[in-house]
Structure 1
Amino acid sequence: MAGPLAGLRIIELAGIGPGPFAGMMLADHGAEVIRVDRPGARIDSRDPLLRSRTLIGVDLKSPEGIAVVRDLVRTADGLIEGFRPGVTERLGLGPDVLLADNPKLVYGRMTGWGQTGPYAAAAGHDINYIALAGALHAFGRAGEKPTPPINMVGDFGGGGMMLAFGMVSALLHAAKTGAGQVIDAAMTDGAAVLMSMIWGFRANGMWSDDRGTNLLDTAAHFYDSYETADGKWIAIGSIEPQFYAELRRLTGLDAAPEFDAQMVRASWGPLKDKLTALFLTRTRDDWCEMMEMTDVCFAPVLSMAEAPAHPHNVARATFVEAGGVVQPAPAPRYSISTTAAPAMTTVFSGGDVLAGLGYDAARIAALTAAGTVR
Structure 2
Amino acid sequence: MTTSGPLSGVTVLDMSRLAPGPYATMLLADLGAEVTAVGGGRAGLPLETVSRGKRFVSLDLKSDAGQQALHRLVAQADVFVESFRPGVADKLGAGYDDLRRIRPDLIYCSVTGYGQGGPMRQAAGHDINYLAMTGMLAMLGPTNGPPTIPLNLVADFAGGSLVAAMAIVAALFERTRSGEGQYLDVAMIDGARSMMAMHQQMWGTSAAPARGLSVLAGAAPFYRCYETADGRYMAVGALEPQFFAALWSTLGLEAVPPQYPRTEWPRIEDELTAAFASRTRAEWTEIFAGVDACVSPVLDPDEVGTDRHIRDRHGDINDTAAPAMPLFSRTPARAGSTDRSDHTTSVLSALGMTAAEIAAAQDTTEPTGLTSWPDM
The alignment's TM-score, normalised by the length of structure 1, stands at 0.91
Aligned position for 2:234: 234
Contact 2:221 2:269 in 1 (8 A): yes
1:311-322 matches, cutoff 5 A: 311-317=308-314, 320-321=317-318
Aligned position for 2:135: 134
Aligned position for 2:32: 30
Aligned position for 1:11: 13
Contact 2:52 2:335 in 1 (8 A): no
Contact 1:245 1:254 in 2 (8 A): no
Mean Cα displacement is larger for which, 351-360 or 56-65?
A: 351-360
Mean Cα displacement is larger for which, 46-55 or 150-159?
A: 46-55
Q: Call closer, same or farther: CA 1:351–1:194 in 2, change over 3 Å.
A: same
Aligned position for 2:213: 213
What is the CA-CA distance between 1:371 and the residue it aligns to?
Answer: 5.2
Local SS of the residue matching 1:34: strand
The one-letter code matched in structure 2 to 1:215 is V
Q: 1:364 aligns with which of 339, 358, 364?
A: 358
1:112-127 matches, cutoff 5 A: 112-127=113-128
Deviations 1:273-322 (A, max 9, x none): 3211221111111211211231011110000111111111111127724x
Deviations 1:68-94 (A, max 9, x none): 111111111110001111111122211
Aligned position for 1:67: 68
What is the CA-CA distance between 1:40 and the residue it aligns to?
Answer: 8.1
Aligned position for 1:168: 169
What is the CA-CA distance between 1:144 and the residue it aligns to?
Answer: 2.4
Which segments of structure 1 move beyond 6 Å, counting only runs of 4 or more?
39-42
The one-letter code matched in structure 2 to 1:27 is A
What is the CA-CA distance between 1:173 and the residue it aligns to?
Answer: 1.4
The one-letter code matched in structure 1 to 2:31 is H
Aligned position for 1:109: 110
What is the CA-CA distance between 1:2 and the residue it aligns to?
Answer: 2.9
- 1: CA distance, partners of 2:312 / 2:40: 40
Determine if the alignment matches structure 1 residue 21 to structure 2 residue 18: no
- 2: CA distance, partners of 1:192 / 1:342: 32
Contact 1:29 1:339 in 2 (8 A): yes
Aligned position for 2:338: 344
- 2: CA distance, partners of 1:79 / 1:309: 37
Contact 2:134 2:189 in 1 (8 A): yes
- 2: CA distance, partners of 1:100 / 1:207: 52
Local SS of the residue matching 2:167: helix
Higher relative contact order (CA 8 A, sep 6+): 2
Aligned position for 1:147: 148
Q: Call closer, same or farther: CA 1:150–1:339 in 2, change over 3 Å.
A: same
The one-letter code matched in structure 1 to 2:253 is L
Q: Call closer, same or farther: CA 1:188–1:42 in 2, change over 3 Å.
A: closer
Contact 1:73 1:98 in 2 (8 A): yes
Contact 1:4 1:30 in 2 (8 A): yes
- 1: CA distance, partners of 2:123 / 2:233: 40
Deviations 1:106-135 (A, max 9, x none): 110010111111111111100000110111
Aligned length: 363
Determine if the alignment matches structure 1 residue 280 to structure 2 residue 282: no
Deviations 1:22-50 (A, max 9, x none): 11011000001110001787658x93311
Q: Call closer, same or farther: CA 1:319–1:265 in 2, change over 3 Å.
A: farther
Mean Cα displacement is larger for which, 181-190 or 309-318?
A: 309-318
Q: 2:291 aligns with which of 274, 291, 294?
A: 294
> Identity of counterpart residues, as a percentage?
39
Q: 1:305 aligns with which of 279, 302, 306?
A: 302
RMSD: 2.2
Local SS of the residue matching 2:278: coil
- 2: CA distance, partners of 1:114 / 1:318: 39
Aligned position for 2:53: 52
Local SS of the residue matching 2:90: helix
The one-letter code matched in structure 2 to 1:30 is G
Determine if the alignment matches structure 1 residue 353 to structure 2 residue 355: no
What is the CA-CA distance between 1:248 and the residue it aligns to?
Answer: 1.1
- 1: CA distance, partners of 2:189 / 2:42: 32
Mean Cα displacement is larger for which, 135-144 or 148-157?
A: 135-144
- 2: CA distance, partners of 1:187 / 1:145: 23
The one-letter code matched in structure 2 to 1:17 is A
Q: Call closer, same or farther: CA 1:93–1:319 in 2, change over 3 Å.
A: farther
What is the CA-CA distance between 1:190 and the residue it aligns to?
Answer: 0.3
The alignment's TM-score, normalised by the length of structure 2, stands at 0.90
